[in-house]
Amino acid sequence: MKVLIVGSGGREHAIAWAVAKSPKVDKIYCAPGNAGITEYAECVDIKAMEFDKLVAFAKDKEIDLTIIGMDDPLVGGVVDAFEAEGLRVFGPRKNAAIIEGSKAFSKDLMKKYNIPTAFYENFDNKEDALAYLDQAKMPIVLKADGLALGKGVLICNTLEEAREGVKTIMEEKKFGSAGDRMVIEEFMTGREVSVLAFCDGKTIKCMTSAQDHKRAQDGDQGLNTGGMGTFSPSPFYTKEVEDFCEKYIYQPTMDAMAAEGRPFVGVLFTGLMITEDGPKVLEYNARFGDPEAQVVLPRMKNDIIEVMEACIDGRLDQIDLQFEDNAAVCVVLASDGYPVSYQKGFLIKGLDNFKDRDGYYCFHAGSKLTEEGIVTNGGRVLGITAKGADLKDARKKAYEATEWVQFDNKYMRHDIGKAIDEA
Ligand code: AMP
Ligand code: GLY
């Protein structure tokens, strides 16, 4: 069969790698893709938000299955656009992707269906938000309602900071229209875990757990980023935590979405905080995580196409999802200065070192093929993943492999997976 993948990040490279392993697949396209993805797919110059062009391409090439990797097109209704033309597509429809697209929606959903999450209030004007802060406990968390590249969350330690934050979101509109509404919520402490799950609208089957490192610098300092590295599984996601989440979070979320007339089909990403009072939902995303996919997919035993088709056809209950009994660590190699400003266009050397190395992966994010070779083309450039017998082994291997590639302004965190030592 012919598959089209929509997106251009490390996540889409990991998806393309997994799709290429499926014996069912003869040809893969990726729109727009990146230099690394060309190893598995023919990249086509259509942007993820150009729905008409994507649909026309899928019809013209007789694509059997389109997989949407990114949040923006999902929230914008790309799945509906494909379905309207009778095309098969993997991902939630617009009315379900709202679980990521509006934090106010997801908070109200959790409240209505008693799904554990932080206390909160939604606001659609600055005055009410500021008034609320006067009686709130610090620290406090401010969240722009809409999509903001993972950067629309402000953690404020003082009332003053929080007041500034409200202005940043609602007055200065730093996150654009994402800040037309906002959520103000209780600050939680604990371990964070990301759990991705396949969903067919009724059944939800979780993949192995992962932990992201959102901040730009070592010791969780600096600005929030899309993610600087991941490990899988999380040693903090114990059987007890998992059982609790199955019972009180995952299935109730599926049922809540169905009850609201918004059945969720695709990958649901639940960001959890394991607090002293038990696990609570930090956020939902309507897609694979990036760089969570880069540690979860290399450990998955199933044929990804079989699982995705089962989701679309509503028979996920028949799939036995299986993961290898090992571990993986992904270290992101970024351009120095990310997530604020950085230079691009530097030659990437050493990529061949990953050829035929079992258990090592170099997933491209911001890379571009030029006449000189493959050059840096974004903030997050590469995700270096290694599998190991356990987390420590995987971490050692991943950091060794980060030395195999070189480019000017290469930047990485050196403490990805450090939390493992405390487990
Ligand atoms: P989100 O995009 O909602 O996952 O938020 C980004 C990051 O902000 C999360 O990964 C957490 O590290 C942090 N965060 C979000 N909400 C809270 C909260 N209620 N308490 C503490 N930290 C939070
Ligand atoms: N790594 C977090 C995300 O994909 O949103």
Q: What per-residue confidence (pLDDT) applies to 347?
A: 98
Task: Name the helix (H) or strand (E) containing 51.
Answer: helix 51-60
With respect to residue 273, please indicate whether it lies within any of the assigned structural domains.
yes
Cis peptide before 23 (omega within 30 of 0): no
The SS3 of residue 149 is coil
Same domain, 267 and 300: yes
What's the confidence (pLDDT) of residue 291? 98
Same domain, 170 and 199: no
Looking up residue 246, the CATH number of its domain turns out to be 3.30.470.20
Q: Which is nearest to 254 in space by CA: 181, 316, 205, 203?
A: 203
**One domain, residues 200 and 284:** yes
Closest CA to 379 of 230, 208, 266, 223: 223
Whether 111 is in a domain gets the answer: no
Which residue owns the Cα nearest ligand 1 atom 14?
282
Distance 85 CA to ligand 2 centre (A): 30
Where among 162, 186, 210 does a domain terminate? 186
Same domain, yes or no: 201 and 169: no
Q: Containing domain of residue 337, as a range?
A: 327-422
How many domains does the chain contain in total?
4
Region 253-276: mean pLDDT is 98
Q: Quick check: 356 pLDDT over 90?
A: no
The CB of 285 under 6 Å from ligand 2? The reply is: yes
The tens digit of pLDDT for each residue in 268-318 reads 999 999 999 999 999 999 999 999 999 999 999 999 999 999 999 999 999
- Bridge partners of 384, per DSSP, are 331, 362
Q: pLDDT tens-digit profile of 201-224?
A: 999 999 999 999 999 999 999 988
What CATH number corresponds to the domain at position 398?
3.90.600.10
127: tokens are 């005055």
| pLDDT-above-70 percentage for the chain | 100
- pLDDT confidence tier of residue 423, bands split at 50, 70 and 90: confident
Protein residue closest via CA to atom 3 of ligand 2: 289
Indicate whether this model's pTM tops 0.95. yes
C-alpha distance across the termini of the chain, in Å: 44
Last residue of a domain, one of 164, 186, 208: 186
Over the chain, what is the mean pLDDT? 97
Q: Are residues 281 and 351 in the same domain?
A: no
- Tens of pLDDT, residue by residue over 117-127, are 999 999 999 99
Express the helix, strand and coil content of the chain in percent, nearest 5 each.
Answer: 35, 30, 35
Q: Is 382 found in the same domain as 350?
A: yes
- Answer whether residue 110 is part of any domain: no
Looking at ligand 2, which atom is closest to the CA of residue 289?
A: 4
On whether both 281 and 341 belong to a single domain, the answer is: no
Check pocket membership of 188 for ligand 1, CB cut-off 6 A: yes
CATH classification of the domain holding 131? 3.30.1490.20
Q: Are residues 177 and 224 in the same domain?
A: no
pLDDT of residue 9 exceeding 90? yes
What residue's CA is closest to ligand 1, atom 15?
Answer: 282
* pLDDT of 2 strictly over 90: yes
The residue whose CB lies within 8 Å of the most ligand 1 atoms, and thus the one to mutate among 102, 107, 141, is 141
Coil, strand or helix at 287? coil
Which ligand sits closest to the CA of 148?
1
Residue 199, CA distances (Å) to 30, 32, 270, 347 in order: 23, 26, 12, 40
Confidence (pLDDT) at 180 = 94
